[in-house]
Chains A and B, each alone.
Chain A
C-alpha cells in the first residue's frame, strides 16, 4: 500500500517521537550504571587495602543502589532495536553491516561479563577471596563501559559515516574497515565524552544521596567519606569531560557544520566568530532574515573560531552559508547538494532498471558508478553519492534543525557542567576544613543537584541528536527515507504503551531506591 506524503510525515513524526522518548528514558538508567560501578570499585579497593569493615559496609550500600538501577534499566535498550526493525526498516537495512558487528560484540560481551561478574559482586562476599571479589567489581564496571563503547561507535557512524561503501546490489552499506569505524574521531570523542558524563552524573548522585543522610543526621561518617570519594572521582572526570567536550565541538565544526551553527545560533558565518556565553533568542517566526537573532547576547570575541579551528581568525560557517552556499569558503549550496543527491538516486534507479532488463553490459556500466576502485566510481561517489540523502529533501530549509532547542540545550549542558566542577571543588575544600555537612542549605543544594545532573545529561543528547536532524545517517539518509511504510496509528499506540511502561519502571525505580536509601547500609550479621 502506498502512503500519501502527509501520512508518511505523520509516520516520521510519531516514529521520531517514539524513538526520542525511549532513548531518553533508557538513558535515564544507563549513566548511573557507568559511573557508580567505578565508584564502588574505588571504595572496595580502599576496603581491600585498609581491611577496614567500615568501607565494606559503605561499598555494599552503594552496590545495592547500583543493583537496583541496573535491574530496572537492563533491557530497556532492546526496545530501540525493536523500533529499528519495525519503524525504521529502510534505515536498518541500509546500515546493516555497520551496525551488526558492533552490536553483536556488545550483546555477547555484555552477557558474559555481566552475568558472571555481577553475580560474584552481589553473591560472592565471604564466598570468594577478597581479591577475586574486587576484580569482579572492577570487571563489572569495565564491562558496562565497554558495552557503551559499541553502541556509541554505532551512533558515531551515523553522525560521520566512514569505513564503508554502498553496495547497490544489496542496497546496503558494507564495512570496508572495522578499524576506521571504531577509531573514527567522532566515535572516540563520543565514547569518552559520554562515559565520563556518566561518571560525573554518578558522582553528583552519590554526593546528593550523602547530603540527604547529613540532613537527616544519619550515617554521617559514611556520607562524608562517600562525598569525598565521589568529589575526587567526579572532579577528575569533569576535567576529562571538558577536554572531550571541546574535542567533540572541534570535530563537529568539520563534519557537522550545521549542528555547530545551530548550537551557536550563528546565522551568518564570519571570520573571528565569537562564542555566545548566554543569549536570548528572538522568536524565529517574528525574525526577518536580516535581523540579529538575539534580543541580547553575551559573547567572548573570536572564541568560537579559536575553539573550533584553533585559530581566532578562522571562518566559521553560519546557517545561511550552508543553505545559500559560499563559494569563497568552498561551501556548496543546499540546492546544489539536492541536485547532486537526485542524480545519485537516479543512478540507483538506472541500475535497478538495468537489472530488470537483464542486459549485462548495462548492469556492469551502471554498477561502475558505485565502485570505489574505478576512477569513474571514485568521482561519482565523491561528487554525487556523498549527497545521496539530499535528494529526498523538498526544501533547503529541511536541513536546519530546531535552533533554539539546540542553542539552549547546549548552554544548559555546559553551564551545569561548570556548576558541577565548582560543586566538586567546594566538597573537597569543606572536607579538608572538616566543615562538610555543616551548612544545611548546601546539603539541600547538593540533594537538588541530582535532577540537575540528569537534565544536563539529557541536554547533551538533545544537542547531539536534534542537532543532526533531518539525518538518520549524515548526508546519506534523512528520516523521511529511513522510515518504514507502517501505519502511523500503530506507532502512536505503541508510543503511549511505552510512555506507560517506562513511567511505571521509573516510578518503581524511584520507590525501591528511596526505600533502600531510607533503610541505609546494613550491618553484617
Chain B
C-alpha cells in the first residue's frame, strides 16, 4: 500500500495521534481497565442474562407470562 493511500493516511492519523498523546494515555489506560472490569468481570460473573437460560423467545415469553400472572396480588 503506497504512503498516499487513503487508508494508510487514516492509519497514520490515528497512530500519530495516539503517539503524541500526553494526558490521553492515562485516560486510555483508565478506559481499558474500566472496560475490562465491566465486560470480563462484572458481566461474566455478576450480571448473567437472567432469561438467557431459555433456548428461544417462546420459552422466555412463557416464563415471563407465568411470572406476570403469578405475582398478581391476592
Q: Is the CB of A348 within 8 A of B51?
A: no
Tell me which residues across on chain A come within 8 A of B52, comparing CB atoms. 85
- Given A72-B27, A342-B73, A345-B68: A89 and B34 within 8 A (CB)? no
How many angstroms from the CA of A170 to the CA of B60 in the assembled complex?
8
* Residue of B14, B16, B60 contacting most chain A CB atoms (<10 Å): B60
**Which A residues from 91 to 125 make CB contacts under 8 A with B?**
92-94, 119, 122-124
B40 at the interface (CB under 8 A from A): no
Q: Is the CB of B14 within 8 A of A119?
A: yes
Tell me which residues across on chain B come within 8 A of A497, comparing CB atoms. 42, 46
Question: A-facing mask of B28-44, CB < 8 A → 1, else 0?
Answer: 10110011011000110
Q: Is the CB of B23 within 8 A of A64?
A: yes
A35 at the interface (CB under 8 A from B): no
> In angstroms, how far is the closest chain A Cβ from the Cβ of B45?
10
Q: Is the CB of A122 within 8 A of B47?
A: no
- Given A123-B13, A394-B73, A494-B47: A94 and B66 within 8 A (CB)? no
Binds B, one of A75-83, A206-214, A254-262: A75-83
A484 at the interface (CB under 8 A from B): yes
Among A89, A93, A119, A480, contact of B17 (Cβ-Cβ < 8 Å): A119
Q: Is the CB of A68 within 8 A of B23?
A: yes
- Given A83-B47, A122-B17: A348 and B69 within 8 A (CB)? yes
* Residue of B23, B62, B73 contacting most chain A CB atoms (<10 Å): B73
> In angstroms, how far is the closest chain B Cβ from the Cβ of A67?
7
- The chain B residue with its CB closest to the CB of A398 is B73
- Given A82-B47, A481-B71: A494 and B42 within 8 A (CB)? yes
How many angstroms from the CA of A78 to the CA of B20 in the assembled complex?
29
- The chain A residue with its CB closest to the CB of B74 is A394
> In angstroms, how far is the closest chain B Cβ from the Cβ of A490?
7
Interface size, chain B (Cβ < 8 Å): 41
Tell me which residues across on chain A come within 8 A of B51, comparing CB atoms. 85, 89, 92-93
Q: Is the CB of B66 within 8 A of A352?
A: yes
Q: Is the CB of B71 within 8 A of A75?
A: no
Q: Is the CB of A501 within 8 A of B23?
A: no
Q: Is the CB of B73 within 8 A of A171?
A: no
B3 at the interface (CB under 8 A from A): no
How many angstroms from the CA of A224 to the CA of B71 in the assembled complex?
60
Tell me which residues across on chain B come within 8 A of A391, comparing CB atoms. 72-73
Q: Is the CB of A93 within 8 A of B60?
A: yes
Q: Is the CB of A79 within 8 A of B73?
A: no
- The chain B residue with its CB closest to the CB of A94 is B64
Q: Is the CB of B31 within 8 A of A74?
A: yes
Q: Is the CB of B61 within 8 A of A67?
A: no
A300 at the interface (CB under 8 A from B): no
Q: Is the CB of B46 within 8 A of A493?
A: yes
How many angstroms from the CA of A72 to the CA of B17 in the assembled complex?
19
A163 at the interface (CB under 8 A from B): no
> In angstroms, how far is the closest chain A Cβ from the Cβ of B37?
7
Q: Is the CB of B13 within 8 A of A171?
A: no
> In angstroms, how far is the closest chain B Cβ from the Cβ of A487?
11
Q: Is the CB of A169 within 8 A of B61?
A: yes
How many angstroms from the CA of A171 to the CA of B61 in the assembled complex?
5
- The chain A residue with its CB closest to the CB of B27 is A71
How many angstroms from the CA of A484 to the CA of B28 in the assembled complex?
35
Tell me which residues across on chain B come within 8 A of A486, comparing CB atoms. 50
Question: B-facing mask of A464-493, CB < 8 A → 1, else 0?
Answer: 000000000000000011001110001001
How many angstroms from the CA of A59 to the CA of B28 in the assembled complex?
22
How many angstroms from the CA of A345 to the CA of B27 in the assembled complex?
51
**Which A residues from 165 to 187 make CB contacts under 8 A with B?**
168-172
A interface residues with partner B (beta carbon < 8 Å) = 8, 64, 67-68, 71-72, 74-76, 78-79, 82-83, 85-87, 89-90, 92-94, 119, 122-124, 127, 168-172, 338, 342, 345-346, 348-349, 352, 391-394, 480-481, 484-486, 490, 493-494, 497, 501, 505, 508, 512, 516
**Nearest 3 pairs of A and B residues by beta carbon:** A123-B17, A89-B50, A71-B27
B interface residues with partner A (beta carbon < 8 Å) = 13-14, 16-18, 20-21, 23-24, 26-28, 30-31, 34-35, 37-38, 42-43, 46-52, 57-58, 60-62, 64-69, 71-73
Additional pairs, 6, CB under 8 Å, beyond known A89-B64, A512-B27: A68-B27, A75-B35, A123-B14, A171-B61, A490-B46, A501-B37
